[in-house]
Structure 1
Amino acid sequence: MKLASKRRSGFVVAVLGGLALALTSTTVHADEHTTPTPDAIAHRGSSGMAPENTAAAIDLAVRQRADHVEIDVQRTKDGKLINFHDCTMERTTNIEDRYPDRPRYRVSDFTWNELRTLDAGSWFHPTYTGEPLITLDDVITRINHTRTGLLAELSPCTHHTTIATDLANHLKTKPRYLQRALTRNQLAVQSFHTDDAHTFHTQLPDIPIGILNAQRPTDTELLQLSQWADQINPQHTVTDQTLVDRIHQLGMDINVWTVDEPGAIRKMTTLGVDGIITDYPQTLTQH
């Protein structure tokens, strides 16, 4: 994620939560890349080596010198923003054992006090038994003042109808973090849903925004998105040189996902992508 927001070049922005926040940055254009090495973006933290989206995975990614951690933002029943990927929690927690009589196991069906008691680690390995879920604020605290930035994904789960606004409003309460992260190009937000991405962008236009794609975007789509988006983040299997060059030509970055096999990492690097989202960030950072 080499680019700051395209709209952020020596700007002074807005009132966040009643506080005036001055943000300054020098925009780096996509055709001015000075390093051939793509950013290492730790997918759900260093999730190949620790249970995904937990403190253990985030901390390990920081120790492995990942450029960014990629997380997933969902909202609990009582409005807490937490770091969790799946639309239901059975796969990576003991929620069925802990709450056997609940009709559904969505994040939004439980309060944070209920969810904080779950075991989110033993499914991965007994070493991580008792590893808890963490909030968005926990993630920010763990990476703040490190070299590792944040790529936050708006949950695509359909029951989170206001997640873009929820995240924007929460970030507005953290002006000091925003100032530091944006100045250092250490914050971006992405979504599979273009409407959610645009909603977030309209509320915090100076945070770089990315569009996730499982399919190859058409040129018409790229042209439309280039009017306001900063990143196109496609699945690596649909990515080739033509797509990379076109995205750069339109002034956007490209971060590909989820790339774990060494040969695929070498291929994406050769294509000149800006970031590689991977379960094993040390593959890119430890030579």
Structure 2
Amino acid sequence: MRIRTLTAVTSALAGLCLAVAGAAPAAAATGSPGRAGAAPRVPVVIGHRGVPVQAPENTLASIDRAARLGVRWVENDVQRTKDGALIVMHDTTLSRTTDVARRFPGRGPWKVSDFTLAEIEKLDAGSWYDRRFKGERVPTLARYLDRVEHNRQKLLLEVKAPELYPGIEQQIVTELRNHGWLDRPHVSDRLVVQSFNATSLRTLHRLRPDVTTGYLGNPKESELRSYAAFADQINPNHTGVTAAWVRAVHALKGPHGRRLQVSAWTVDDGDRAVVLARMGVDGIISNAPHVVADALDGDDDPSFLSDPSSGVEALLDGGA
């Protein structure tokens, strides 16, 4: 599958989005949700934990599947084990996506922070999803970074529940540096670090002010300016996004002097993805990135966007 830029859609968007002239290049195959460019494009499509509709989330199998589908941006979650290792895992417990309850009965609720790396590496992180993935392991962040690099993909890295892991920001920076992810090519076009925790994100920005950062959440328009001091992106739950809110985000500049961007999550419906694209979002995070990409690619007749009789403003502001 080849993910392409929607010239027709983006031309129409140029007339709708007040701040779109400074939009970042966002073609799913080559763009970045973290850098400014000369012309608006279709939103970047980002694989949420890989492609979890086709492979177990946050595993190497999942990002490999994303690579085969042509998905260039993948998202992952990082946490810390009892003995200080960084692993890729979404939940703060291991029970949903591994066989930890069977292997270590009596140790519930099976928190990530209660298990050593050696113990976690024994777990099966694939059979819960499908027997075809039996033996898939929970990857360390180091292995994950190496595989993303091998696949020539780009990374949206989420610091998960950093309040549980004091000092994890410095560990992440060290791991990124050790695996070559803090050189100019990676920092400029291949890496974004995000979190729901504003304090953690401020710490990351202080440690590496050159790295693009994203705040996860739906702040009120009146609160946006406070986040612009340390975040290049505001990445909201898609259900709360309106065209007016996107315009408010785009009207501000982040710590690198570039227009703030928006990557909405988690969008698996093609029709909704098209609506968000027409609102002007810069990225769409999806469990089914290939479905979203196909929907955007197929939306080749956006002529009603410039037709004042179409009711487009109501549609874009969530009124339809």
> What is the match of residue 17 of structure 1?
none
Measure, in 1, the Cα distance between the counterparts of 2:39 and 2:250.
14
User: Is the 1:260–1:279 Cα contact (8 Å) retained in structure 2?
Assistant: yes
> What is the match of residue 12 of structure 1?
none
- C-alpha deviation, 1:87, in angstroms: 0.9
> What is the match of residue 90 of structure 1?
95
| Residue number among 170, 192, 196 corresponding to 1:192 in the alignment | 196
Letter in 1 for 2:266: T
Q: Per residue, is there more strand in 1 or in 2?
A: 1
Whether 1:122 and 2:127 are equivalent positions in the alignment is yes
Letter in 2 for 1:249: A
Cα distance, 1:193–1:33 mapped onto 2, change above 3 Å: farther
Choose 1 or 2 for highest CA Rg: 2
Cα distance, 1:28–1:153 mapped onto 2, change above 3 Å: closer
Deviations 1:110-146 (A, max 9, x none): 1111111111111111211221111111111112154
Measure, in 1, the Cα distance between the counterparts of 2:129 and 2:236.
27
> What is the match of residue 204 of structure 1?
208
Aligned residues between the structures = 260
| Residue number among 255, 261, 285 corresponding to 1:253 in the alignment | 261
> What is the match of residue 65 of structure 2?
60
Letter in 2 for 1:58: I
Q: Per residue, is there more helix in 1 or in 2?
A: 2
User: Is the 1:65–1:285 Cα contact (8 Å) retained in structure 2?
Assistant: no
> What is the match of residue 244 of structure 2?
242
| Residue number among 259, 282, 285 corresponding to 2:290 in the alignment | 282
User: Is the 1:65–1:147 Cα contact (8 Å) retained in structure 2?
Assistant: no
- C-alpha deviation, 1:33, in angstroms: 5.4
Percent sequence identity is 37
User: Is the 2:145–2:179 Cα contact (8 Å) retained in structure 1?
Assistant: no
Whether 1:138 and 2:140 are equivalent positions in the alignment is no
Letter in 1 for 2:233: Q
Normalising by the residue count of structure 2, what TM-score does the alignment of the two structures yield? 0.76
Q: More deviation in 172-181 or 153-162?
A: 172-181
> What is the match of residue 81 of structure 1?
86
Structure 1 unaligned residues grouped into runs of 5+ = 5-26
| Residue number among 46, 64, 69 corresponding to 1:41 in the alignment | 46
Cα distance, 1:203–1:124 mapped onto 2, change above 3 Å: same
Matches within 5 A, 1:213-232: 213=217, 216-232=218-234
Structure 2 unaligned residues grouped into runs of 5+ = 1-22, 27-33, 253-258, 298-320
Normalising by the residue count of structure 1, what TM-score does the alignment of the two structures yield? 0.84
Instruction: Give the 3-state SS of the residue equivalent to 1:73 in structure 2.
Output: strand
Measure, in 2, the Cα distance between the counterparts of 1:239 and 1:61.
26
Measure, in 2, the Cα distance between the counterparts of 1:158 and 1:121.
28
The structure showing larger relative contact order (alpha-carbon pairs under 8 Å, at least 6 residues apart) is 1
Q: More deviation in 248-257 or 95-104?
A: 95-104
> What is the match of residue 278 of structure 2?
270
Cα distance, 1:72–1:2 mapped onto 2, change above 3 Å: farther
Measure, in 2, the Cα distance between the counterparts of 1:176 and 1:104.
34
User: Is the 1:116–1:133 Cα contact (8 Å) retained in structure 2?
Assistant: yes
Matches within 5 A, 1:3-22: none
Measure, in 1, the Cα distance between the counterparts of 2:146 and 2:84.
19
Instruction: Give the 3-state SS of the residue equivalent to 2:193 in structure 1.
Output: strand
Deviations 1:148-180 (A, max 9, x none): 200000012642233223212322333465333
- C-alpha deviation, 1:94, in angstroms: 0.4
CA RMSD of aligned residues (A): 2.1
